[in-house]
Amino acid sequence: VLDEPTAVLTKREIDKLFEIIAELKAKGVCVIYISHRIEEVFEICDRITILKDGAKVGTVNVGDVSREQLVRM
């Protein structure tokens, strides 16, 4: 579980983190990535679960949703 892991990282460190996440995913490891940065979510995630005020709004596959739809959720 990674909660806002890029908040204090440099671009270089973020790139390395995303490489590690990709390696873990390739090995079948589930990664829970919590972020407010939509561009990151679209870059590394397969599915997105949206929470608002502590309640689940929905879960979507990254390929099935646009950034605008995600923001509206």
Mean pLDDT of the chain, nearest integer: 95
Q: What was the pLDDT predicted at 64? A: 96
List the structure tokens of 36.
């407010």
List the structure tokens of 54.
């502590």
Q: What was the pLDDT predicted at 18? A: 97
**What percent of the chain has a predicted confidence (pLDDT) above 70?**
100
Which of 1, 61, 67 is CA-nearest to residue 40? 67
Q: Model's pTM, two decimal places?
A: 0.83
Q: What was the pLDDT predicted at 24? A: 97
Q: What was the pLDDT predicted at 44? A: 94
List the structure tokens of 30.
């589930």
CB–CB of 39/6 below 8 Å?
Answer: no
SS3 47: strand
